[in-house]
Amino acid sequence: MLEITPATKPAITFPLQLGEGPTWDDVRHCLWFVDITAPALHQLDPASGTITSHAMPSDIGSFGLTQGERLIVALRHGVHFYDPARRTLEILVHPEPDQPHGRLNDGKVGPDGAFYVGSMDERSPRQPVAALYRITPDGTVTKLRDGLLISNGLAWSPDGRTMYHADTRANLVSQCAFDPASGPVGAFKPFRPLANEDGVPDGATIDAQGYYWSAGVSAGCLNRIAPDGVIERRLHLPMKHPTMPCFGGADLATLYVTSLTRDGDQGTLIALDAGVRGLPGYRFKRV
């Protein structure tokens, strides 16, 4: 395993409480990211450094791009469409209205055009009541996994035939076969355990070579994991608690990483050259 400390630069000048979800928008040529508990959705124009902030009515765990102007956003209680021009929300569905002790967390649009979003239990100690859901454009909700603590780490292989998913507090990344037209095929199986000293798995992305990049939120690092589950390299970062990586820029060669505020470390967004390129994101089919 290669141990690397890359050169990084700050991408924003203000602190994040719980930075998450960086996503490159190849139509608007901007980077979207959230501050979950602010709660706010932020839009960064890398060319000018301009930030446009969108206040949310409740915690925003994640979001995804659509084939139209709107975004699909996972708020504390429900998945909505958000129109950034009009700053309006429209409810699509609430996947778990019967869970008063949790909220929606990591979510992404998959190769099939559905929105995948998980939940997390907020009690202490956490209970295994969280789940992972598939949400289609007509609002149909399918539960894919349950018995989770914190659903996280969604990503897909370059050919769209493998889906990755993590349970942060279980210290495990799993994978399952995936049909790019219709979604998961079969059960999830263990892919890579990640202990506290390795960096327990938080948000993730995939690069063009099919390597899975996992934010090691407990160890201040990014783990680049090969398709066979071996950690190929570890990037040591200037933040204690990175939460999610994302490839962006016109050539998808800039790696953006969010982090959270904890242990005297201020949450932020940084940019670096990882030496590899990413892949374009998917878009929710409904506009």
List, by residue number, the catalytic residues.
202
Please report, as a single letter, which amino acid is at residue 136. Answer: T
Cβ atoms 94, 104 nearer than 8 A: no
- Give CA–CA dist 153/130, Å, rounded: 14
Helix (H, G, I), strand (E, B) or coil at 235: strand
Instruction: Give every strand in the sheet of 71-75, ordered side by side.
Output: 88-93, 78-83, 71-75, 60-66, 283-284
- Sign of the four-CA dihedral 145, 147, 152, 157: negative
Q: Give how far the C-alpha of residue 16 lies from the chain's centroid of Cα atoms, to the nearest Å.
A: 16
